[in-house]
Amino acid sequence: MKAVHSAQVKCSVDGTAADGLQARQAVLLSTTNCCALLMCVTGPWGFARGLVRLYLETPSTAPCAAILVLLKQEEFSFASAAAPAKPSACMQALRLWTLLATCAVAVGQNQGQKNQECPKLNAQMPEFQKKTVHIKDPARVEEIICGLIKGGAAKLQIITDFDMTLSRFSYNGKRCPTCHNIIDNSKLITEECRKKLLQLKETYYAIEIDPALTIEEKYPYMVEWYNKSHALLIEQGLQKDKFAEVVRESDVMLKEGYENFFDKLSEHNIPVFIFSAGIGDILEEVIHQAGVYHPNVKVVSNFMDFDENGVLKGFKGELIHVYNKHDGALKNTEYFKQLKDNSNIILLGDSQGDLSMADGVANVEHILKIGYLNDKVDELLEKYMDSYDIVLVKDESLEVANSILQKIL
């Protein structure tokens, strides 16, 4: 660029069009010869790729833009000065150079735009700087988020757990209830039943989160726990029309930022699949009372079966517990087939069993797994970081998910 600049200065000083034209032609001839040599060594496409790289690594587009402007000016300058009817080899090379440079800048601009779409977690997403956020492979997470952004709303779907994932684990140091706990703590059951349910929780919850046991080893215990708890609830003759009041009086809370989460997904008609091992009737009442049970939300859970008087007589379908969501996911393949174009997934869960919730999706392009680690952090953090792309430790908000959705939508 310095040589071009000096030649232009010389033209101005000499004050004659002929001298200026000769100087400019000399510079272009030198440039063309250099380009021709480079193209001979690298080939046209290798040369073009080099221009793209130069463009991307140059802080300003001014150098490339200046070269293009000059080349276009010279093309017209040569045309106006009695140029030979048959272009010389020099002019042919010059035109090839112009074409390649134009393509290089266009490709570079497009690639630059794509790079801007792919955020750096620390620089552009402050939510990822929170102490609660743990990521084993930041580069991989950036790559997945970039894929989600490029796919946009048209390709996105959400698959999420509910208890302790969308709902809070604790508030001001006090444990918040799960869907089962809402019933367990309510006035709908007797004190004797409440004590039995609490004993079951103390026995089996320890097994559920025991880091020394495999999922296969925990599986039969979860079946025992759920079946015994559901049998006790059936004995109580629970009335369906009392559930709204029970939920209102409970301490259940959705995570901070839930309105933004649900409303933005509804606004863009993003499918939300809530896959819960809780009680579906209670879950639906919670999100209904929160004002976020939008048409784009589908709930799969343990739903109660009532008689003609609205009294609980059993549970519908097969049991869903923490560690059999793989089976449930595969049974919902018809739902996922309807969303065959929604190949990008954000999965949210709080247990190792939640990792299989997307197993029914056949055509996964990009999947980002976000895991909430609420208990036994020291024992489980490493295992969670090996399984989930992002681990949120004792985090009672949806800030990270919302920040990602902000980039995608």
Residue numbers annotated as active site: 161, 163
For residues 115 and 160, give the distance between their C-alpha atoms in angstroms, rounded to a whole number: 29
Residue 295: exposed, middle, or buried by beta-carbon count in 10 A (0-12, 13-18, 19+)? Answer: exposed
Look at residue 402 and give its three-state secondary structure.
Answer: helix
DSSP 110-145: HHHHHHHHS--HHHH-GGGGSTTEE-S-HHHHHHHH
Look at residue 345 and give its three-state secondary structure.
Answer: strand
For residues 142 and 146, give the distance between their C-alpha atoms in angstroms, rounded to a whole number: 6
Pick from 357, 354, 306: which is nearest to 332 by CA?
357
Q: Which residue has the tokens 């869903």?
A: 320
For residues 160 and 348, give the distance between their C-alpha atoms in angstroms, rounded to a whole number: 5
- Phi/psi for 374 (5° steps) reads -105, -20
Look at residue 72 and give its three-state secondary structure.
Answer: helix
Instruction: Give how far Cα 257 sits from Cα of 104, 122, 221, 372, 397, Å.
Output: 44, 21, 34, 15, 6
Joined tokens for residue 50: 């080099």
Instruction: Give how far Cα 409 sits from Cα of 46, 93, 258, 264, 295, Å.
Output: 36, 45, 16, 8, 18
For residues 6 and 14, give the distance between their C-alpha atoms in angstroms, rounded to a whole number: 12
For residues 91 and 364, give the distance between their C-alpha atoms in angstroms, rounded to a whole number: 51
Ranges of H-type helices in 156-279: 179-184, 191-208, 215-235, 243-249, 258-267
Would the CA dihedral through 392, 330, 260, 167 be positive or negative? Answer: negative
For residues 60 and 105, give the distance between their C-alpha atoms in angstroms, rounded to a whole number: 12
Residue 309 DSSP class: T
